[in-house]
Amino acid sequence: MTHSILCSVLLFIALTFACSSEQKTPENNTVNIENVSLEITNGWARPAQAGMMTAAYFTIRNNEPFADTLLSVSYAYAEDTQIHESFEVEGGMMGMRPVGLVPVAPQSKVELKPGGIHVMIMRPEINLTEGDSIDLEVAFSSEIRLIRVPVKATN
């Protein structure tokens, strides 16, 4: 009897530590409320002085059997935040264009990454310094998610 109580206590302690350590180490530093249906990982933002232009990036994974859509991303301390896409123009030139909506197909992932789709943060009110982190509000057709991403020069 004593042995089984001791085992139960040890099991409880082990499970408690396992769960707490999982919560403290979100994948790739992106703080993201645990949600298995829609995951946002690998988030980061480039450093910038206040008043400059910069960009943020992250990966969206849709684990649901139905499609979702990224509608918008906003950063409270910026003049504006828009979703843009860099693309190759003919003649060795690169360009950028606004992206209205970003479809996220069922059971798929969409990467917002340098040289591709990105969140353009226009004229932040504060310096974004390497080592800091910023909060972004990410709106999908299914839900609105708040994420915290680190500021760093490269990923």
Partner 1 sequence: MRLLLVLSFFLFFACQRTQIIDDLNDASFELLTQDSVSVTFPDDYKGKYVVMGFVYTNCPDICPLITQNMIKIKEKLGSPDDVHFLGFSFDPDRDTPSKLAEYKSAFRLDDNFDFITGDTTTVSALMDSLRVRTQVSFTTTTEVGEELYFLNHSDKIMVMDPKSRVIIEYGGSQPMVPNLIVEDFQKIRQ
Q: Return residues touching partner 1 (CB under 8 A).
A: 46-49, 51-55, 79-80, 82, 84, 86, 89, 91-98, 114-115, 118, 120-123, 130, 153-154
The CB-of-48 to partner 1 minimum distance in angstroms stands at 5
Determine the Cα–Cα distance for residues 138 and 10; give it in Å rounded to an integer.
Answer: 40
When the beta carbons of 35 and 129 are compared against partner 1, the nearer one is 129
Per DSSP, the three-state class of 17 is: helix
The CB-of-37 to partner 1 minimum distance in angstroms stands at 29
When the beta carbons of 60 and 78 are compared against partner 1, the nearer one is 78
Phi and psi at 114, nearest 5°, equal -55, 135
When the beta carbons of 103 and 114 are compared against partner 1, the nearer one is 114
Between the alpha carbon of residue 88 and those of residues 58, 68, 91, 113, 115, the distances in Å are 21, 27, 9, 15, 9
